Amino acid sequence: MKKYLVATLAAFILTAPLPAVHAEQDMSGMNMGSGKTIMLEAVQQDGVSAMAHLYDVSENMAKHGMKETHHMMVMFTDSKDGTPITTGTVAVKITDPTGAKSEPIKMVLMGDGFGADVAITAPGAYSFEVGTKLADDKRRVFTLSHTKK
Q: For the segment 89-128, what is each residue's pLDDT rounded down to a tens digit?
A: 999 999 999 999 999 999 999 999 999 999 999 999 999 9
Q: What percent of the chain is helix, strand and coil (3-state, nearest 5)?
A: 20, 45, 35
Domains and CATH numbers, the chain: 20-148 (2.60.40.3340)
Kind plus residue range of the DSSP H or E element containing 23 = helix 19-27
Contacts of 106 (CB under 8 A, 6+ apart): 89, 90, 91, 116
CA atoms of 149 and 137, how far apart (whole Å) = 37
Q: For the segment 51-74, what is each residue's pLDDT rounded down to a tens digit?
A: 999 999 999 999 999 999 999 999
pTM across the whole model: 0.76
For the CA atoms of 51, 55, 61, 66, the dihedral, rounded to the nearest 10 degrees, stands at 40
Kind plus residue range of the DSSP H or E element containing 73 = strand 70-78
Q: For the segment 3-45, what is each residue's pLDDT rounded down to a tens digit?
A: 433 343 333 333 334 333 333 333 333 344 456 999 999 999 9
